[in-house]
Amino acid sequence: MSHVNPGAYREAAARSLRDTPEVRGSVGSATRTFEASRTRAFAPIDGDRWRDWARDVKTHTLLNLDQYLEQAVERLEANGVHVHWAEKDVDALRVLDDIVERHGVRTAVKAKSMLSEELGVNEHLERLGVEPVETDLGEYIIQLLGEPPSHIVGPAIHKSLDECRALFHDHLGTPLDGTPERLAAAAREALRARFLGAELGISGGNFLAADTGTVALIENEGNIRLSTSIPNVHVAFVGIEKVVPTLEDVAGFLQITARSATGQPIGLFVSLIQGPRKADEVDGPEEVHVVLVDNGRTNALADEAAWEALRCVRCGACLNSCPVYRQTGGHAYGWTYSGPIGAILAPAMLGLERAMPLPHASSLCGACVDVCPVRIPIPDILLHWRERAVEAGLTPLGERAGSGMYASLAARPRAFEGAGAMLRHTPWRQTGRTLPVLGSWAQERDMPRPSAKSFRQLWKEGIE
């Protein structure tokens, strides 16, 4: 992904709230709808048991990841798949160079893949003279807009119907008051031709079953099935953490991911891909590549606290529940992965310095803990990164000094009481803005009024 810039989070968030307040409305409404759907979908099941199972399968897998990856590769190769290992984004992208050249690729149809965003696949294809065509309707919309996705599951949730109407009018000639059906039909027609004419289909992978070498993909539109069935070559970019032990495990993960993401029992289309077209098949790609991508994941795995974040199944439930994410959507985070999961992965995969201040883009409210299907202890990991940031000297000096001073005061009750007295006698409701650290409180809120007498004083005077 180009323009990785978590460092600008606070400014980007403030700008979004100030200049495009409608985004807060769209994102709020979409996330609340997803959240309500999830709640309904969990009502008929024993959600705790499902989540414990999913957590344990993923934990077990990560602890034995080398073995399961080796098993998966063996199966994939036996199925006729070309397997590539990519340590970094450039290594993953390089796989495309050879394919594009050999097959004379001019158009690549893309299924929605956050990993392909992370790697910057579209930009790379363009450098190779290939036109990347996003086929997921939400991704298609943001591709027309030239924007990155705003949410893991719904890339265009920050756009309203009217904005889509205007966009489709400009690009596809649909009427300005076109119904959603009309717009969708226009998109279908435009993209149908691209599916049929593309030499290459590119996807991600939701899960990779090690025992059968199966790449599993979930969706509702059918564009992933089309992207992986129609073109002659299919490339799947799969993060190394996507492996699960068996195809039977995939049966469970498909369901818990769908319920957590959109409140469905399962995605309307699931693709289970083993490899290239077999001798007794009439269609399907003749060449299939799976690129196993590290790109910082082994860094995350090595971290004593953050490794649990690799259990993530990319359902987006944490985003949907996060009151911080809801104020701005994903763009403010400046990285492919936003919301709570983005905040805990970024330091591990980008390095802490580059990821700051994302670990602070949270009030530690814990709403995400209630919904994560694989029980990632997100607030604990955020806290871990905050502590590491302090140790690494990445916290503003004023804050460190202030915290140290306050802790000293708090160890000396008389001094603490004295500070409280000062509080009551300085006009800080007027001057509060100038305080270090706490001054920014006054930017958005009126300063609180201290009690006329401290409780300590009331106690000394005697409480009736």
Partner 1 sequence: MSHPDRSGEKSEAGARILERIRSANVGRDAVPHPGDFGGWRAPDSPADVDPLTGFTTMFEATGGEVINAPDLASAGSWLEAFVEACKAESIAVGRGVPDEVVPTLERVDASGADLAVSSARAGIAETGSLVLDARDGRRTQLLAATHVVLLQVEDIHGSAREAFRDLSSDLPAAIGLHSGPSKSADIGQIMVKGVHGPGRLVAVVIGSAST
Partner 2 sequence: MIKASLFATCLGDNFFAEACADTVRLLRHFGVEVDFPEGQTCCGQPAFNAGHRGDAERMARHTETVFAESEYVVLPSGSCASMMRAHYPGLLSGEETPGDSARVWELCQFLVHVLGVESIGSGLEGRTVAYHHGCHALRELGIEHEPVTLLRSAGASVLDWEADRECCGFGGLFSAKMPEVSASMADRKLETLPDVDVVTSSDGGCLLQLSGRAERRGGSPPFRHVASLLWQGASP
Partner interacting with residue 38 (select from partner 1, partner 2, none; CB below 5-8 Å by kind): none
In the set 124, 159, 326, 386, which binds partner 1 (CB under 8 A)?
A: 159
Bridge-based pairing of strands 200-203 and 131-134 is unpaired
Residue 381 in contact with partner 1, rule: CB under 8 A: no
Closest of 248, 195, 249 to residue 224, by C-alpha: 195
**With binding defined as CB under 8 A, does residue 146 bind partner 1?**
no
Determine which residue in the list 267, 334, 339, 379 makes contact with partner 1, applying CB under 8 A. Answer: 267
Query: Alpha-carbon distance 136 to 449, whole Å?
Result: 53
Taking CB under 8 A as the criterion, which residues in 283-302 touch partner 1? 283-284, 287-288, 292, 294, 298, 301-302
Identify the residue whose tokens are 């717009």: 183
DSSP, collapsed to helix, strand or coil, labels residue 365 as: coil
14 part of the interface to partner 1, by CB under 8 A: no
Specify the long-range contacts of residues 455-460, CB closer than 8 Å, at least 24 apart. 456/417, 456/420
147 lies in the site for partner 1, by CB under 8 A: no
Determine which residue in the list 175, 265, 323, 418 makes contact with partner 2, applying CB under 8 A. 323
- 76, 83, 202, 315: which one binds partner 1 (CB under 8 A): 83
20-39 residues in contact with partner 2 (CB under 8 A) are 24, 28
Is the CB of 83 or the CB of 355 nearer to partner 1? 83
User: Interaction with partner 2 in 433-462: which residues (CB under 8 A)?
Assistant: 437-441, 443-459
DSSP 118: H
Answer for which of 11, 22, 74, 87 binds partner 1 (CB under 8 A) is 87
In order of 49, 82, 240, 298, 301, the CA distances from 66 in angstroms are 27, 19, 9, 11, 12
Identity of the residue, 180 or 418, whose beta carbon is nearer to partner 2 in the bound complex = 418
Q: Which is nearer to partner 2, 78 or 415 (CB)?
A: 415
Residues 6 or more apart whose Cβ sits within 8 Å of residue 209: 72, 216, 243, 244, 245, 246, 247, 249, 250
Q: Any idea what DSSP says for residue 334? A: -
Beta carbon nearer to partner 2, 202 or 356:
356
Which stretch, 105-113, 144-152, 296-304, 406-414, contacts partner 2 (CB under 8 A)? 406-414
Residue 406 binds which entry of partner 1, partner 2, none, CB below 5-8 Å type-dependent: partner 2
202 contacts partner 1 (rule: CB under 8 A):
no
Q: By CB under 8 A, is residue 265 in contact with partner 1?
A: yes
Backbone angles phi, psi at 338, to 5 degrees: -120, -170
**Among 55, 94, 354, 400, interactor with partner 2 by CB under 8 A:** 400
Backbone Cα Rg of the chain: 25
Beta bridge pairs of residue 86 = 293
Beta bridge partners of 209: 214, 244
Q: Tokens 């492919």 appear where?
A: 336
- Considering only residues 219 to 248 of the shown chain, the ones binding partner 2 according to CB under 8 A are none
